[in-house]
Amino acid sequence: MRNTNTHIGTSNGGRSVQQTVEVVRKGSTICWIGLVPGEVVETNTMAIVGKETRLQGIMRYANVYDTAMSLVAAGTIDLVSMITHRFALDQVKEALELPDNDDNVMKSVIALS
């Protein structure tokens, strides 16, 4: 998804953090909820400054879970449209490697049956 006004990242490995900076519009807000422990992530600080991006970090889901679930329940956030790739269970390796090879991955789903 490109040109978003707000991005709430909950899967915050290295590439995911970098992509959030790339996809938001000027003046947007990025909210990273729980980064990967111990991982140092490089990102384009000039893009953050140039886009006048606001950053907010949340260590846990405290005080945001109910709001997020309300937005999903109201249809404000369409989770299904965020799934960009689907894999069978025997394609787990490919699914895990895809974000390193494809900049268009938002969310992947691995079917268990």
What is the residue extent of each domain of the chain?
1-76, 78-113
Using 50, 70 and 90 to split pLDDT, how confident is the model at 25? confident
The rounded mean pLDDT for the chain is 82
Strands 107-111 and 83-88: parallel
Q: Report the SS3 class of residue 72.
A: helix
- Tell me which CATH code domain 1-76 carries: 3.40.50.720
Show the tokens assigned to 92. 């787990």
- The more confidently predicted of residues 6 and 46 is 46
pLDDT score recorded for residue 57: 82
Q: Write down the pTM of the prediction.
A: 0.49
